[in-house]
Structures are given as structure tokens and as C-alpha cells.
Amino acid sequence: MKQKQALFVDLSFEDLKSQFSKACIVIPTYNESKNIIPLLDKIFDESYDNKETGIALEVLVVDDNSPDGTALLVEEYKKTNSNGPNVHLLLRTKKEGLGAAYIHGMKYALVEFNPDYIMEMDADGQHNTEDIYRLLNGLEEGADFVIGSRYVKGGSVPDGWGWHRKLISWCAGTVTKVGLGIKGVKDCSGGFRAIRAEVLRGIDLDRLYVKGYAFQVALLEAAFRENFIVTEVPIHFDERTEGESKMRFSDMMEGWKLIYKVRKERLKKFMFRP
């Protein structure tokens, strides 16, 4: 009888890497020199602790030419840290707003890294890195767009938020949901998200009308419009420990303008439909 020979397959490192899913975390920064390095360390600690999931993490820092040297710290991290090859820096010439940075970063990541998933995450420590794989697991289970939600059961905001801040947040969320017709989502403006790459490829990011914080709502509305599956995962939203908030009154005004433009566009399509 002819003896069967064992079949050996020589898999290169690149072959092994190709068997993993890849998530790129896009992190916009402006004057986050005190926060960015601790955040990078925590992200890669989570990547190591969750290596059995088969989802490898890369980070793209999109810096708006921070005068405090945030970009220089990222460059040094890339050169000296063992996780450096998984960190990328996209340096912009000026501060244009959160939305503009996300759009630039997402488009860059889709072309340069070809990830399976893209995540949004703040640099200020308000998002817990331990939740990264909880959000990614939502995509693995079939969702297209997963929101780290402060307002679903199990989610929370900082204890230090007074009733007036909670009321403003609730009012803004209610107006947004009613104005844009977003149903079933508790946290429309949350900035901690995991999104399938094909969702972003299916949305014209340049036509979202926004450069500031209203980007979060605009992207969510576009995902709803294209009938992608959106779900929420509860998170605890922490207080910023270093630096200052970048939210401005102009960002609130941009949110109102977004609702107006979207409603106007929908009305136009309804009136002139064949």
C-alpha cells in the first residue's frame, strides 16, 4: 500500500497576517500631547490581550498641526516603540475641525491600509480602550455600524455632569433624531464607533456638509439613508483628565445647519420625484 505523505504548507509572515481582520483606529488630535502616548500604549495593550479574536489593530493619528508638539511625540513613538510599525501619522497644515480631520483620515486609511473595519476614537481619554473589542465584536456579529453609546441601558456619562448639561445633551439628541428621522438610536453624537470599511466606501464623505462635531450626526444619517445595520453597545463616558474641550458654539450652529440642509434636500427630492 502506498503510504500517504504529510502535506506541509509554508506560510510566510505576510500569509499569516492576511488571515487576520484589520481594524484601523482613526484618532484626530489637536494639542493632545499629554494624552496621546498613554492612549497608544493602552490601545496596544488591548490588542495584545485580545489577539485570540484575530482582529489586529492599527492606529492613524490625524493631527491638525498641533502647536504643543503632539505630532512630534507620535513620530518618536513610531521610531522607538515596538508597536511603532502599527502607528501612522497624517499631518494636516491647519485646524479645520473634527469632521474635516475624520473625513481626511478615513479616506486616507481606506486607500493606504485597506482595513476591514475603521474606528473613531477621541484622544482625550474619555473613551475606554477596554471597549474597543466590544464594539468590534458588534461588527463580527453582523452589524455594519456600531456606536459606543452613553444612553442605552448599561451606558453612562460622568458623575460630574450637572442636570443642566444632561438636559442640554438630551435636548440636542432629541432635536437631531426628530429633525433627521433617525429612529431607534439613543446616542446620535457619540464619537466612539466601529464601522465596516464598505460602509464608508458606500458613502460620499465629501458630501456630508460638515467640518466640525456635526460630522458624527451627518455620518450616522448617511448610514441610515443607505440602510446599513446600526446598533449600540453601552459604554461609560469618562471626564477629560488633561487638556481642554474643543467643542465650540460654532459646532452647535453647524448641527442646526446640517438638519436644515438635509431636510431641504429631502423635500426637493420629494417634490421633483418622477
Which CATH number goes with the domain that contains 163? 3.90.550.10
Please give the angle made by the CA atoms of 212, 216 and 217, to the nearest 5 degrees: 105
Neighbours of 179 (CB within 10 A): 17
**8 assigned to some structural domain:** no
Cα–Cα distance, 123 to 159 (Å, whole number): 21
**45 assigned to some structural domain:** yes
**159 assigned to some structural domain:** yes
Cα–Cα distance, 78 to 71 (Å, whole number): 11
Phi then psi for 132, rounded to 5 degrees?
Answer: -55, -50
Write the DSSP assignment of 202-225 as a string of letters: TS-GGGS--SSTTHHHHHHHHHHH
**1 assigned to some structural domain:** no
* pLDDT on residue 20: 80
The residue range of the domain holding 122 is: 19-240+247-271
CB proximity list for 20: less than 8 A, separation 6 or greater: 54, 55, 56
* pLDDT on residue 234: 96
Q: What is the pTM assigned to this prediction?
A: 0.83
* pLDDT on residue 249: 47
**3 assigned to some structural domain:** no
Cα–Cα distance, 57 to 42 (Å, whole number): 12
Q: Domain total for the chain? A: 1
> Residue 87's Cα: distance from chain center in Å?
16
At 176, which amino acid appears? T
Low-confidence ranges of the chain (pLDDT < 50): 1-17, 249, 267, 270-271
Cα–Cα distance, 44 to 49 (Å, whole number): 8
Is there a contact between 118 and 200 (Cβ–Cβ < 8 Å)?
A: yes
Q: Which of 86, 89, 80 is nearest to 32 (CA)?
A: 89
* pLDDT on residue 67: 96
Cα–Cα distance, 247 to 191 (Å, whole number): 13
**65 assigned to some structural domain:** yes
* pLDDT on residue 168: 67
CB proximity list for 136: less than 8 A, separation 6 or greater: 23, 53, 55, 117, 119, 146, 194
CB proximity list for 26: less than 8 A, separation 6 or greater: 60, 62, 102, 105, 106, 109, 118, 119, 120, 121
Half-sphere exposure of 119 (CA within 13 A, CB side): 30
**13 assigned to some structural domain:** no
**10 assigned to some structural domain:** no
